């Protein structure tokens, strides 16, 4: 057998991908575009059937791109035995939080059991799911060893965190990859393999360092978002426009990076990843003061947003109870049809709990998904004048904000979209 470094560097090998969601499917497209074989595995037979028919469920992967990969020989299956033919296994499964905000490793553990059942000599196994430092060593290594394989002789194990930003024009293949092996040899093999996928690979000394790097990236964002959310609340108390303050601070060419307030944080990373780190820190009897404080600010923002809405209505002599409110946008991020952990939904639930009658305008998410959440969908063609207040929770580009301000008596802008677009309207109130 060709030595692993030479084989992954020079030969045409096959990438096996476990989990074909927003991380796994773009990775499969990248591998196919680089001339590698692709075997994608997912437990959802419905998802597999759609993929094999050339229908993508991931916004960043077009049907045309998927069909090109299929024509090049990519295979998608719900049969884990197919992964035996793969030379490298990339684990791209969810890593959510449990009910008590503790790490839920059930998907990673299930993927590890799959690896244990199909692992063979010569394979590289790389975990991409975000998790706490030590997961790769604690879960993936025992899985391959239980298959009778010896680390660095038969199999190589590494961690390389996903770096996907849904809706961002930057493709997976353009984003530098951090790679860390559980041993130096595993790290070298993984680095060589990933260089076939992306132009820039940064290898660190261990899987733990790579796991920690991913958590630092998103904890940095969570802490700074928490800071600016707190500043937004203070600015309101002091009758200062926080958006003007951020614009002014952004003129400094060094020492400042702009972060923006909003109704809270959502998605698959920012609300979750810092809690993986905080949970691991608690195991080590270490207090994560910044992380905990930022989380307290961020998770309270939907309630604060609802409080502000109540105050705006009260100044007009209107109660929250029984008042019709138009929620504009329920996805967690602009121009992305994804509402996981969405702060917008948290605001809406808070308003409903106070008796508000909330309808939703979101052309990106779509009417069917809005109904699934139990809310009345509204389109731009409907009579919006029936709503005393509209609240912009997600700033999709496809929404005509000038028309919104003209047709609704008052607009509460939690995203600063009116200032950003230069739309002057006396009835718009900023966060």
pLDDT at 102: 80
Q: Place 197 in a pLDDT band, splitting at 50, 70 and 90.
A: very high
Q: Tens digit of pLDDT for each residue in 143-154?
A: 999 999 999 999
> Is 269 a residue of the active site?
yes
- Of 17-26, 82-91, 98-107, 350-359, least confident by mean pLDDT is 98-107
CATH 3.40.50.2000 matches 4-205: no
pLDDT at 272: 79
Q: What is the mean pLDDT of residues 43-58?
A: 95
Q: Tens digit of pLDDT for each residue in 255-272?
A: 999 999 999 998 777 777
Mean pLDDT of the chain: 94
pLDDT at 88: 97
pLDDT at 169: 66
- pTM score of the predicted model: 0.91
| Residue spans per domain, the chain | 4-205, 251-430
pLDDT at 280: 85
Is pLDDT of 186 > 70? yes
Write down the CATH number for the domain with range 251-430: 3.40.50.720
Same fold, 4-205 and 251-430: yes
3-class SS string, the chain: CCCHHHHHHHCCCEEEEECCCCCHHHHHHHHHHCCCEEEEECCCHHHHHHHHCCCCCCCCCCHHHHHHHHHCCCEEECCHHHHHHCCEEEECCCCCECCCCCECCHHHHHHHHHHHHHCCCCEEEEECCCCCCCHHHHHHHHHHHCCCCCECCCEEEEECCCCCCCCCCCCHHHCCEEEEECCHHHHHHHHHHHHCCCCCEEEECCHHHHHHHHHHHHHHHHHHHHHHHHHHHHHHHCCCCHHHHHHHHCCCCCCCCCCCCCCCCCCCCCCCHHHHHHHHHHHCCCCCHHHHHHHHHHHHHHHHHHHHHHHHHHCCCCCCCCCEEEEECCCCCCCCCCCCCCHHHHHHHHHHHCCCEEEEECCCCCHHHHHHCCCEECCCCCCHHHCCEEEECCCCCCCCHHHHHHHCCCEEECCCHHHHHCCCCCCEEEC
Q: Which of 51, 269, 343, 393 does the annotation list as catalytic?
A: 269
């Amino acid at each position: 057998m060709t030595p692993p470094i030479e084989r992954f560097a020079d030969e045409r090998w096959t990438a096996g991908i476990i989990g074909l969601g927003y991380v796994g499917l773009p990775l499969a497209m990248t591998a196919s575009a680089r001339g590698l074989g692709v075997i994608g595995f997912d437990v959802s037979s419905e998802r597999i059937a759609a993929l094999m028919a050339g229908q993508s469920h991931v916004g960043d992967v077009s049907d045309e791109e998927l069909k090109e990969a299929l024509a090049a020989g990519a295979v998608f299956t719900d049969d884990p035995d197919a992964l035996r033919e793969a030379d490298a296994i990339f684990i791209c499964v969810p890593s959510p939080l449990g009910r008590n905000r503790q790490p839920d490793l059930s998907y990673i553990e299930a993927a590890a059991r799959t690896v244990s059942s199909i692992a063979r000599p010569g394979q590289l196994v790389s975990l991409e799911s975000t998790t706490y430092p030590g997961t790769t060593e604690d879960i993936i290594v025992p899985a391959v060893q239980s298959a009778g394989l010896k680390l660095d002789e038969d199999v190589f194990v590494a961690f390389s965190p996903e770096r996907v930003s849904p809706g961002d024009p930057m493709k997976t293949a353009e984003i530098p990859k951090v790679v860390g092996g559980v041993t130096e040899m595993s790290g070298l093999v993984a680095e060589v393999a990933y260089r076939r996928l992306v132009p820039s690979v940064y290898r660190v000394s261990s899987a733990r360092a790579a796991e920690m790097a991913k958590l630092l990236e998103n904890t940095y964002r969570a802490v700074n978002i928490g800071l600016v959310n707190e500043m937004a609340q203070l600015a309101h108390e002091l009758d200062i426009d926080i958006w003007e303050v951020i614009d002014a601070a952004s003129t400094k060419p060094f020492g400042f990076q702009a972060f923006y307030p909003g109704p809270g944080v959502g998605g698959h990373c920012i609300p979750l990843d810092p809690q993986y780190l905080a949970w691991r820190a608690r195991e080590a009897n270490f207090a994560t003061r910044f992380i905990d404080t930022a989380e307290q600010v961020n998770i309270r923002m939907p309630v604060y947003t609802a409080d502000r809405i109540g105050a705006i209505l009260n100044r007009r002599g209107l109660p929250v109870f029984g008042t019709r409110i138009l929620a504009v946008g329920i996805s967690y991020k602009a121009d992305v049809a994804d509402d996981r952990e969405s702060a917008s939904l948290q605001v809406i639930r808070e308003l409903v709990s106070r008796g508000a009658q909330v309808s939703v305008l979101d052309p990106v998410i779509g009417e069917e998904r809005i109904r699934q959440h139990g809310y009345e969908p509204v389109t731009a063609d409907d009579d919006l004048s029936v709503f005393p207040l509209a609240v912009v929770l997600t700033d999709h580009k496809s929404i005509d904000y000038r028309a919104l301000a003209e047709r609704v008596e008052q607009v509460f802008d939690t995203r600063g979209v009116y200032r950003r677009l230069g739309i002057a309207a006396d009835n718009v109130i900023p966060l």
